[in-house]
Amino acid sequence: MSVTDTPESAAQHDSSSVFASVPAPRSPTKVASFVERVLVELRHEAVAARYVTDLDQAGAKTIWCRVEHTPLDVDAEYVQIRDDPRLGVDVEPCSQATVRERLCQCLDHDRVGRVDVRPLAGVSMSDD
């Protein structure tokens, strides 16, 4: 399985971005507020929160989305999909509380990482 952005998603994302990135400086209050806005989008739209970092990893991506908007057969409300070029893809069922916690952790600890919200239709999950 791989997780990739389709060419259409980039164009669609540029024109209708919900969040380009978490605001700086990354105070705990601003991070929490940002994450709550992301969670609102995840609850109401077929979108994915995508976290990308270049810190110690070339092109690693993590996305969180509601399972109901994916072809995945997972017994959970949300799913975390981590795509690391070195380690492959890992799919983990999770709760909304877990999504909140992990997004906050990513944004608290990685100053070069970024989060955006994009249409889930623009994220391809396929078997390689």
In this structure, are residues 36 and 101 in contact, taking their beta carbons and an 8 Å threshold?
no
Domain count, the chain: 1
Band (15; pLDDT cuts 50, 70, 90): very low
Residue 127 lies in a domain: no
* Least confident range of 20-29, 34-43, 101-110: 20-29
pLDDT digits (tens, 9 = 90+) for 56-112: 556 678 899 999 988 888 899 999 998 888 888 899 999 999 999 999 888 887 777
Distance from C-alpha of 82 to C-alpha of 62, rounded to nearest angstrom: 4
Count CB atoms within 10 A of the CB of residue 16.
9
* 100 close to 35: Cβ distance less than 8 angstroms: yes
Residue 128 located in a structural domain = no
Tell me whether residue 91 is in a domain: yes
Separation of alpha carbons 27 and 17, rounded Å: 23
For residue 31 the two structure tokens come to: 């991070």
Question: Could you tell me the pTM of the whole model?
Answer: 0.75
Residue 125: inside a domain: no
- In which domain, by residue range, is 40 found? 2-120
Q: Can you tell me the distance from the alpha carbon of 121 to that of 42, in angstroms, rounded to the nearest whole number?
A: 13
